[in-house]
Amino acid sequence: MIRLSPLLILAACGGATVPQDLPVETADTAVEDTSPPPRPSLELAREIPNEATEPGRFETTLVAEGTYDGDTPVRYQYSGDVIRAQVGNQLAAVLDNQLQSPTTIHWHGAGAPYEMDGVPWQRQPTAPGEQFTYTFPLEQSGTFWFHPHFDTARQVDLGLYGVLIVEGPDEPEVVNDLVLILDAPHESAVDPHHHGLEGQALVWMVNGSIDPIGTLDAGPTRLRILNASNTGYLDLDTTDMTVLALDQGIRTAPWSTDSVVLGPGDRAELLVDLQGSMDLTSRPFSLHGGSAWGDPQRLLTLTGSGPSETPMPTFDVDPASPTPDPGTTDITYTFQGDGGSGQWRINHETFPDVTIEEVALGDDVIVEIRNLSPTNHPFHGHGHAFEVLGVNGVPPARYTLEDTVDVPIHGVVRVRFEATKAGDWMQHCHILPHAEGGMMTVLRVVDPEVP
């Protein structure tokens, strides 16, 4: 068998009772203000300008910057939050590394070729003070994201990520197209063992603020939501909303549901008629088994103001049926680990000492992911989007393409994809401390016509 060698790797304090014969406001007996502090305003994600001088291209420089306390990093970020490009554009993004450590960019879900995937064994990470240009065609519409794949758990936890929006020719007409980046920053400080995070134990931030309020024009509003958390799950209350898409963009008819669960790395596009005020909330959800005890947590409040003459979009799309599971299996990945040691394995192996599975370019591949560990795992495959065939033997209600799928405790998830891109593609859990603890492997897609 082929072996992969080691690689770069308020409590409201009740004041004393004021005697009736004394004035309420004196120098010695001021009434304490126990009202809650005002909620912050929602910050809009920073859109990155297109610097291209010719049509059909999106060119920009992404400066990776850090804020430090001495030599200790406090915050990482790129020079912008959102790239908004068009299907068919050639993306040319220069990574300008101004951090004190090496880094890369992985284009999560966007279909980048192997040479641009951002994994450290494909090319050396970009050193401090150096630059590297990532360039590839944008072929699929959807909401994707980009983040490092070197020292990944720490760099992402510090905020080094952004959203890549690729628009197609037939996008629904909306009044607001709003990017919401949800994160629970510095999770390792909340829980040094990366476990026991029971939904509301995390302090969720939306575009950098806790529980913000945003005022937008009233009317059809598209919410593009990214879970950029290292470990936290969201169980969004989507009552009175329409689900436009999950990871891989609009692939079938939109649908209605009262819940959308987003694991780390997942995205969702939701459509809402913003009239008056609405709260976006998340029910408690634990990586230790799903829905957890507690009240929903308000993530933000949106208010629609003014008249709206834009009607809600309608969709003349027939829902595609999911592919029947053929019952065969080409590759099996068994997720294992106890969490106490911080070591996590796939097929009894800890990255980078792993066996590389091989498939041929053009193959239709069925993968079965089994979870024998005591936590959920969001499985993410580099290079290829996949269709979910079933979870615990139950086929999905509709056809969708995903790049990240949650595998429940003691659960079995089956997926299929066509191997269309040659290369050594990382397959891993997107709970980043699990990946860092060894829950990664590699799938090699071989072109039989290339020696």
Can you read off the two tokens belonging to residue 244? 């436009």
pLDDT tens profile 115-130? 999 999 888 999 999 9
- Strands (E) in 12-150, as ranges, are 57-69, 72-77, 82-86, 90-97, 106-108, 131-137, 142-147
**pLDDT band, residue 368 (cuts 50/70/90):** very high
Predicted pLDDT of residue 294 = 85
CATH 2.60.40.420 fits 41-167, yes or no: yes
**pLDDT band, residue 317 (cuts 50/70/90):** confident
Predicted pLDDT of residue 185 = 72
- Distance, in Å, from the CA atom of 284 to the CA atom of 19, rounded to the nearest integer, reads 45
Can you read off the two tokens belonging to residue 48? 């990155």
Q: In what order do the strands lie in the sheet with 267-274?
A: 205-206, 176-183, 219-227, 267-274, 242-245
Cis peptide leading into residue 395 (ω within 30°): no
Domains 41-167 and 170-315 share a fold: yes
pLDDT tens profile 127-171? 999 999 999 999 999 999 999 999 999 999 999 999 999 999 989
pLDDT more than 70, % of the chain: 89
pLDDT more than 90, % of the chain: 77
Contact 108, 161 (CB under 8 A): no
Assigned CATH for 331-446: 2.60.40.420
SS3 33: coil
Per-residue pLDDT at 391 exceeds 70: yes
Rounded mean pLDDT of 300-329?
Answer: 91
Predicted pLDDT of residue 450 = 81
pTM of the model: 0.89
Correct CATH for 170-315 of 3.30.420.40, 2.60.40.420, 3.10.150.10, 2.60.40.10? 2.60.40.420
Q: Lowest mean pLDDT of 17-26, 284-293, 335-344, name the range.
A: 17-26
Predicted pLDDT of residue 186 = 64
Can you read off the two tokens belonging to residue 380? 């993410």
| Alpha helices (H) in 96-236, listed in sequence order | 152-157, 187-190
**pLDDT band, residue 451 (cuts 50/70/90):** confident
pLDDT tens profile 11-69? 333 333 444 454 555 555 566 777 788 999 999 999 999 999 999 999 999 999 999 99
**pLDDT band, residue 339 (cuts 50/70/90):** low
Q: Compute the mean pLDDT over every residue in the chain, rounded to the nearest whole number.
A: 89
Backbone angles phi, psi at 84, to 5 degrees: -120, 105
Domain spans, the chain: 41-167, 170-315, 331-446
State how far the alpha carbon of 75 is from the alpha carbons of 20, 99, 197, in Å. Answer: 52, 10, 22
CB atoms within 10 A of CB 242: 20
Per-residue pLDDT at 326 exceeds 90: yes
State how far the alpha carbon of 149 is from the alpha carbons of 156, 222, 352, in Å. Answer: 9, 29, 14
Sequence-distant (≥ 6) Cβ neighbours of residue 441 within 8 angstroms? 333, 346, 347, 349, 351, 354, 355, 356, 357, 426, 427, 428
**pLDDT band, residue 8 (cuts 50/70/90):** very low
| Beta pairing class for 57-69 and 259-262 | unpaired
pLDDT tens profile 200-214? 468 899 999 999 999
**pLDDT band, residue 228 (cuts 50/70/90):** very high
State how far the alpha carbon of 309 is from the alpha carbons of 175, 217, 340, in Å. Answer: 9, 11, 57
CA dihedral over 86, 87, 89, 92, signed as positive or negative: positive
Predicted pLDDT of residue 200 = 45
Predicted pLDDT of residue 319 = 78
